[in-house]
Structure 1
């Protein structure tokens, strides 16, 4: 019984607080970048991307399972 009370009042709140900090860090990280979702509706041959490469001229090369 004491073990359950300890977990209820100490462990769970600590885990909840650390999870909140991780979420806030992810939001700050995402705010630094302009993210655009590109799907098959916008011309990709596949909805899964293997790799993204930016060349010296600034072009983005997107590698999918079947095409570049």
Structure 2
């Protein structure tokens, strides 16, 4: 048998450090923008949607980092 065929334990997924960095940055920036939008009584729905989008994209990047995708 070949040594490639025998696997001992699970392989650790490769983690891209940029997913971690960008995930933290997008999450922080989106949270900051959402906080600003909630403090000002303004009807800027696009800004609110954009801030929530940054938060979701940051969470997605962090998920990709921890899953090793």
Both structures adopt the same fold (TM-score exceeding 0.5): no
Q: Scaled by the length of structure 2, what TM-score is found?
A: 0.36
- RCO greater where, 1 or 2, for CA within 8 Å and sep 6 or more? 2
Q: Please state which structure has a larger fraction of its residues in helix.
A: 2
TM-score, normalisation: structure 1: 0.36
